[in-house]
Amino acid sequence: MTHRRAVFVMVLVTLLWSTAGVVTRQLEAARSFEVTFWRSLFTAVGLVVLLGWLRGPQALIERIRTGGKVLWASGLCWSVMFTAFMVAITLTTVANVLVVMATAPLFTALLSRFLLNHRLPARTWAAILVAGGGIAWMFGADISGAGGSHLLGTGIAMGVPIAGAINWTLIQHASRSEASSDMLPALLIGALISAAVTLPVAWPLQASAADIGWLSLLGVTQLAIPCVMAVTAARTLAAPEVALLALLEVLFGVAWAWLGAGEKPSNAAMLGGAIVLGALASNELFALLRRSPAPAPASV
């Protein structure tokens, strides 16, 4: 895959990821844990088909059986991410959830610093402080005005970047000692765990036929397909590029919810989101510029 095509693929991935909020707002009867159950179930079905086609059914089963602790720990992290995201988005606004999720690179940097002894440059520490201020601003507005539901939803959404940071750190640590780096089956494990855990609390199921149609669309086109595409594009793009392009999900997601569901973000969400996105984008752009190769000297 060429660099230009990989960038195009990642933009398409963020566009697909960002549809979760506006699609969720179209549901008639399904709520909270039931929404999570159906989306995770359809994600698992989509991944079985996709990974079975890419790897072969026998190879997929063998990888899951012999993947070891890291593969299953990664699957557990994916399950937390799948579950926390959908529960949070039924409690608070799409903008709040997406802005909180955008802090994943900073949580990853912090975890890598303390567990893998990676040194963080001053710009990353500055970005962490500024982004933390933006999140605190959003939390403060929820406490003082929007109500307990928004505060709870924003708090649950924090589980997504934290689980993502743990997931990436596990994978990075395992890559130093394990020959196999095929972690795509962890997505399937995560979807199955999420569906199994949320089914008991979602029972009795109340989703209408239209709801199931929307949630099947979410599971396959919003999660299963773009996750596989993202892993493929990440083989070509530098890590800062991937992190920077992933921020488009916040912009696309807020726009979808605003235009498709009439969910205008609050002033606090817009200001806090601008602070967080500005800090993250600046940090990743500086990292990308520092890693760009210097131009070759002109020959005499």
The answer to whether residue 300 sits within a structural domain is no
Q: Is the pLDDT of residue 267 over 80?
A: no
d(CA 70, CA 88): 27
The answer to whether residue 154 sits within a structural domain is yes
Angle at 9 between CA 291 and CA 282, to 5 degrees: 40
Q: What is the pLDDT of residue 170?
A: 74
User: pLDDT digits over 153-179, tens only?
Assistant: 878 888 888 888 787 777 666 655 554
Taking residues 252-265, report their average pLDDT.
73
User: pLDDT digits over 95-149, tens only?
Assistant: 778 778 777 777 777 776 776 666 667 776 777 677 767 766 665 655 544 556 7
Task: Provide the residue range defining the domain that includes 243.
Answer: 3-288
The answer to whether residue 296 sits within a structural domain is no
Q: What is the pLDDT of residue 241?
A: 65
Torsion of CA 287, 254, 30, 80, to 10 degrees: 10
Q: What is the pLDDT of residue 261?
A: 65
Omega within 30 of 0 (cis) for the link into 204: yes
Is 236 or 221 the better-scoring residue by pLDDT? Answer: 221
Q: Is the pLDDT of residue 193 over 90?
A: yes
Is 112 or 94 the better-scoring residue by pLDDT? Answer: 94
The answer to whether residue 185 sits within a structural domain is yes
d(CA 47, CA 164): 19
The answer to whether residue 256 sits within a structural domain is yes
Lowest mean pLDDT among 69-78, 116-125, 210-219: 116-125
* Count of domains for the chain: 1
The answer to whether residue 294 sits within a structural domain is no
CB-CB contact of 138 with 154 (8 Å): yes
160 C-beta neighbours (distance < 10 Å), count: 24
The answer to whether residue 293 sits within a structural domain is no
Confidence of residue 300 (pLDDT cuts 50, 70, 90): very low
Taking residues 63-84, report their average pLDDT.
85
**pLDDT > 70: percent of the chain:** 77
Taking residues 267-278, report their average pLDDT.
72
